[in-house]
Structure 1
């Protein structure tokens, strides 16, 4: 699937991109997995495509797999933007940090020259610079209105951290025909985040429906938007708009955090207790932990760009108890070493995106869990692997018969902190969350979807997914078989390599 824009990298040396699909995943044996592993053979694995991607780095000139920021404003790759019947009409951007001039320029360079966007809404953590922004209408007549909104934090010491986009496309020939593109990512709305750092992306297109179709996905999204848009002039517009689309074939479950003190049934709506609820509903833990073999070989990976002041008790008795029914599950924390940051594309300045305090990351009990975010020598890898990882990933995997199988994956904006995931208080009767966050949850046993597309000469949105039973006969699909091995692109190798004795985790004090 050729998605994304070609970036002029003529001044850069050709880079061979490391791939992380099951066809060629590198499996390395080390002390963290007591198994004699070999490389996974191509003919044994036929992975199922998922709507999860990595971003296209500036230096990856010949890599079609990654998604550039501009790719989200293109309906499909076989029709030039100026020839497209589809027009972007409304956009909602959400980010912790926003370089608004860069975003406006990227959108302007992506949409048709005769396009006319009705509104762009930026939702962001509070910024004086962003508050002062005024659109230059003389040079941006292609967009009618640009507005900025800062959600109320409600709880002290929290941040607005979700990173997502909602883009509404309308058919210029049939104004009542439209679809919405929903993107959830780990990337801020900044050029360096999208071009120089590794990021995770989930994206899916949803068509307009004739009448409101209720499902868990839309109800949850509706509640989340109500929480972040309260007091915004466009709150009613976006709440009403999303109800005009059919989300029944959503490929993932949403996991959000909103700040507040919750009691009663509300505590299961957000953060890690939302994850616990999803696990129980799907009976996932009972399935995965049904025998000692699975308990011995299933491992939980936590990879993030920041860590809060967490305790061992919170990690195991709250977060991990929501992720697994196994007491004291095996945990592998993936975080860059000082050496890896120094040798990254951005050098030590790239460490700004890894704001971890030394006292938090260097606790003895945490250091025992640390693994490198790649499994080969830093000087032997391609440029793509030298990008600072800004992804935030929780996943469960197991190794069986020399094959790595991902059981489930959580990606989005949540870092490893109780501010993001929540913390139980007052003996478990109260639940406190400080941050706004948004992520996705995908489990292999619940993933029964295929990506749909029509013939090459037709202009059809490229991120449409349907349940297998809902795929019409006239629609081609990408079905690759009935196995349950998911293809989830990752910026690190599984199993990860444990820190060596001379490895030390990156910390923000090194920037001083």
Structure 2
């Protein structure tokens, strides 16, 4: 069957609609990876998605660009070639790349873990004192400078990850996982890591030597062969325990990315967007919310003590209890013993299940709708304030925008305060930020960066209508335009992009599996996956205008509280030549920054 739009004409292949629900969640592979030293180019040594396996293969066995044609053995079958009429992005490879003038060759070669720069830990803003047993760890003057620098400079506690290969000034205030796990943050007693894709050996090495044998719990969603592989990875480490998240609804994943860090001095929560693998902390744009150091409550405190105005503590406990795991109940008891009252963000989670009545508003996009209605402030002409979504992959949205995106999903994200008259949300614009093929091609990693952008041709072919909402990834002001985004953010902005009514950083991509979708005529919300994020509202930061000002330069010292949006505003809409990155088709008409082509199979 043929479809035609402004993006061209193509053949729509048949595919299982339900299988597409997991698109946007980095489709997991259930095959065992190869033992070390045996055909290592066939895949990494940890469970991961097919898209990431393709990226690993192309890094290990790059295909050098020559004249834009396939190597003989890679030539596609004639039936796969797109027609010349109305060349679309469907099966073409960056149609308008003839104007390529060279990108200076290889920007920076991939380095081994042991060869990478060692970043000095930087502690974010905190009102707590330096841990007593670390006061003599460095010369006192240097330590004092570090703590003076970090104290009070980041009210939002929102950070980007460090990127290897950009100017050092663009890593100012950014964090690497080694920074987060540094002794400067506290004397670690035990930790829990919640994630999707996990390299246990690499993870253990990120902890300082003095913490590498401390109890470490890894919460994952692997099944069958992938679960066996993860257990094999963890076997050499006697301090590592594994906890499998239950995924009883087909095509769901454990996509949450969170750290729970228990210290002698207190407790800390980190909610972020990076997988626990080297690639995600190297040359990608990722987001981190890092809590302050929560002190221990006095003995005999009530269970309700230490709660924040945002109910963060009880919501975190509720989220952990949703796993129905005795192991995680141990962490619930630790959390109860600490004071979370300084927390200014709201917790927004998704857990697998089918929810009715009041339970519907506990998770997913209906949770966001409830928070925005109850705690956000209405603004003038708010119907003209667009909803902006930025993500690293996309699920199946349905045959047209009315099926989910511009109905239940937009209704939730367009909510803004409780008014007697319900806002006609169909008037609210939607802007979607997703990298183009050229964004990926010109990135620090080149085409393999697309392995973490697993939007598939099978899904894309069925929703050509979606691409009229797309805007390019651009982050020139932060020096990160060439560090592809794995961060996921959502917000409501003014028409001139100078103000935002709220901001969310989360693990959730643009998919019904992550956010939930109505069933039974809207009386039931079905969610397939675990996701977690934090919501920033102006009212919780002492801003009474109903909106944050957008920080023009995320590295500048601005006396007015303004929010550091991690990409450029105003947005730049796709031009006619732009195509969204799709991981499982070839791109051979122009080389990437390493002089290579992309042939995923």
Fold agreement, TM-score > 0.5: yes
Match of 2:163 in 1: 57
Deviations 1:68-93 (A, max 9, x none): 1111123548xxxxxxxx42111000
The unaligned stretches of length 5 or more in structure 1 are 1-6, 11-46, 78-85, 138-143, 171-177, 450-478
Query: After superposition, what is the alpha-carbon deviation per residue over 1:3-32, rounded to whole angstroms, capped at 9, x for unaligned?
Result: xxxx9768xxxxxxxxxxxxxxxxxxxxxx
Residues 233-273 of structure 1: CA deviation (Å, up to 9, x unaligned): x2232111111111122121000000011111111100000
Q: Does residue 499 of the first structure (1) align with residue 557 of the second (2)? A: no
- 2:269 is the counterpart of 1:182: yes
SS at match of 2:259: strand
The 3-state SS of whatever aligns with 2:465 is helix
Q: Choose the corresponding residue for 1:444, options 499, 520, 538.
A: 538
- Does 2:427 align with 1:344? no
Q: Which has the larger radius of gyration?
A: 2
1:224 correspondence with 2:332? no
SS in 2 for 1:344: coil
> TM-score, length-normalised on structure 2?
0.63
Q: Tell me the equivalent position of 2:515.
A: 421
User: Does the residue aligned with 2:317 lie in a helix, a strand or coil?
Assistant: helix
* Change beyond 3 A, Cα 1:399–1:49: farther
What is the match of residue 201 of structure 1? 288
| Matched position secondary structure for 2:386 | strand
Match of 1:295 in 2: 383
SS in structure 1 opposite 2:247? coil
Is the Cα contact below 8 Å between 1:197 and 1:389 reproduced in 2?
Answer: yes
Q: Which residue of 2 aligns with 1:392?
A: 488
Q: Which residue of 2 aligns with 1:145?
A: 239
4+ long deviations beyond 4 Å: 7-10
Q: Which secondary structure state, in structure 2, belongs to the residue aligned with residue 509 of structure 1?
A: coil
* 1:100 aligns with one of 182, 200, 216: 200
Give, in whole Å, the separation in 1 of the partners of 2:182 and 2:484. 27
1:58-97, aligned counterparts within 5 Å?
58-60=164-166, 62=168, 63-74=171-182, 76=184, 86-97=186-197
Tell me if the contact between 1:48 and 1:487 (Cα under 8 Å) persists in the aligned partners: no
- Counterpart contact for 2:351–2:528, Cα < 8 Å: yes
* Distance (Å, rounded) in 2 between the aligned partners of 1:399 and 1:93: 39
> Match for 1:360 among 435, 459, 466?
459
Separation in 2 of the partners of 1:9 and 1:496? Answer: 34
2:227 is the counterpart of 1:121: no
1:263 paired residue among 352, 356, 368:
356
For the structure 1 residues 375 and 439, does the alpha-carbon distance in structure 2 shift closer, same or farther, using more than 3 Å as the test? closer
C-alpha deviation, 1:507, in angstroms: 0.6
Q: 1:406·1:486 contact (CA, 8 Å) conserved in 2?
A: no
Contact 1:88 1:111 in 2 (8 A): no
The aligned residue for residue 320 of structure 1 is 410
Query: How far does the alpha carbon of each residue in 1:78-116 deviate from its partner, in whole angstroms, 9 at most, with x for none?
Result: xxxxxxxx4211100011000110010111xx254xx57
Q: Is the 8 A contact 1:74 1:111 kept in 2?
A: no
Q: Distance in 2 between matches of 1:88 and 1:111?
A: 11
Deviations, residues 399-440 of structure 1 (Å, cap 9, x unaligned):
55xx71222111111000110000111111111000011011
CA distance in 2, matches of 1:375, 1:199: 12
Q: 2:376 and 2:160 mapped to 1: Cα distance?
A: 29
**For residue 120 of structure 2, what is the aligned residue in structure 1?**
none
Q: 2:392 aligns with which of 300, 305, 310?
A: 305
Structure with the larger strand share: 1
Partners in 2 of 1:61 and 1:372 — Cα distance? Answer: 22
CA 1:418/1:134 → structure 2, altered by over 3 Å: closer, same or farther? closer
The CA distance in 1 between the partners of 2:209 and 2:263, in whole Å, is 11
Which residue of structure 1 aligns with residue 5 of structure 2?
none
* SS of the residue 1:408 aligns to: strand
Distance across 1 between alignment mates of 2:517 and 2:321: 23
What is the distance in 2 between the residues matched to 1:100 and 1:57? 22
Choose from 556, 562, 579 the match for 1:486: 562
Q: Which SS does the other structure have where 1:503 is aligned?
A: coil
Q: Residues 305 and 480 of structure 1: is their aligned pair in 2 closer, same or farther, counting only changes over 3 Å? A: closer
List per-residue Cα deviations over 1:10-66 (Å, max 9, x = no partner).
Answer: 8xxxxxxxxxxxxxxxxxxxxxxxxxxxxxxxxxxxx97421111001224623321
> Quick one: distance in 2 between partners of 1:76 and 1:256?
29
Q: Which structure 2 segments of 5+ residues have no match? A: 1-113, 118-152, 416-422, 544-556, 586-599
